[in-house]
Amino acid sequence: DAKTTQPTSMDCAEGRAANLPCNHSTISGNEYVYWYRQIHSQGPQYIIHGLKNNETNEMASLIITEDRKSSTLILPHATLRDTAVYYCIVRAGVGIKAAGNKLTFGGGTRVLVKP
């Protein structure tokens, strides 16, 4: 699986949009970008994933650049409960036999939402 690079930490103001960048310059054509977050002492929580197109769900939006070498997770209106470590992960999708199935977590971005 391709390696990802994320900033170590970032702060954002409550009620404002939080934009979390991720670089994955070695991503392959069959690899998806997944985002999880982990609130202190809890298991990771799935947020969103995408392949090429931008994606949106009730939690966040995922913007993937046209060359797919980077992406941005957008939390549209950050709340204090969004304070967490956010992980950007690249992995092959279903049916890719050689890929394995594990998620490879990096260090993530520690996001602190401030009042």
Residues contacting other proteins: total by CB under 8 A: 22
Among 2, 18, 31, 34, binds other proteins (CB under 8 A): 34
What mask of x and - would describe binding to other proteins in positions 55 to 94, judged by CB under 8 A? Answer: ------------------------------x-x-----xx
Among 15, 17, 46, 54, binds other proteins (CB under 8 A): 46
Cβ neighbors of 80 (< 8 A, separation 6 or more) are 14, 113, 115
Name the residue among 39, 9, 11, 12 with its Cα closest to residue 110: 9
Nearer to other proteins, 1 or 82 (CB): 1
Output the CA torsion sign for 56, 34, 70, 50: negative
Distance (Å, whole) CA 88 – CA 1: 12
Q: How far is the CB of 49 from other proteins (least distance, A)?
A: 7
